[in-house]
Structure 1
Amino acid sequence: MPRELAVFGILIPTLLPIFLASLLLQGALDWVLGHAGLYRRAWHPALVRLCLLVCIFSALTLVLYS
């Protein structure tokens, strides 16, 4: 995989689209978990949200770069 993507003549790192995709996936998962009421059982819901984002981003990065 190339390290940079050319978008309208601007070079952006490949991790940026991966991060944006992980934000979208985390938002959808956050909505599902919020409606299911699972955040009421968490000690710190914001920390759970951050951990989910890190796990999703790491998984997408590992899939793409391995």
Structure 2
Amino acid sequence: MIKEIDLAGVYLSPMLGYLVVALLLTGVLRFVLGRIGAYRWIWHPALFDVSMAVIILTALVALTM
């Protein structure tokens, strides 16, 4: 069951936790893709990065349900 995150008496949405983890994973994946040169074959890198973050966020939420 998903519960709110209690931060010093302030309740935050659990989506915030998922988003932080998804952004960290996206950052790691961006670094790896940049190091291997994968961005040479990607037409629009910014759109790809946003799509990758949304896919990772969706996968995290789906795996924890």
TM-score, normalised to structure 2's length? 0.92
> Which secondary structure state, in structure 2, belongs to the residue aligned with residue 6 of structure 1?
strand
1:59 aligned partner:
59
2:14 aligned partner:
14
2:41 aligned partner:
41
Gaps of 5+ in 2: none
Q: CA deviation at 1:43?
A: 0.8
Give the whole-Å Cα distance in 1 for the aligned partners of 2:4 and 2:26.
Answer: 24
Counterpart of 1:61, as a letter, is: V
User: Once the two structures are aligned, what percentage of the paired residues are identical?
Assistant: 37
Instruction: Identify which range, 20-29 or 4-13, moves more after superposition.
Output: 4-13
Give the whole-Å Cα distance in 2 for the aligned partners of 1:21 and 1:45.
Answer: 21
Give the whole-Å Cα distance in 2 for the aligned partners of 1:56 and 1:27.
Answer: 11
1:4 aligned partner:
4
**What stretches of structure 1 move > 4 A for 4+ residues in a row?**
none
TM-score, normalised to structure 1's length? 0.91
Structure 1 residues 21-40: aligned runs within 5 Å: 21-40=21-40
Aligned residue-pair number: 65
Please report the RMSD computed on the Cα atoms of aligned residues, expressed in angstroms: 1.0
Give the whole-Å Cα distance in 2 for the aligned partners of 1:17 and 1:5.
Answer: 8
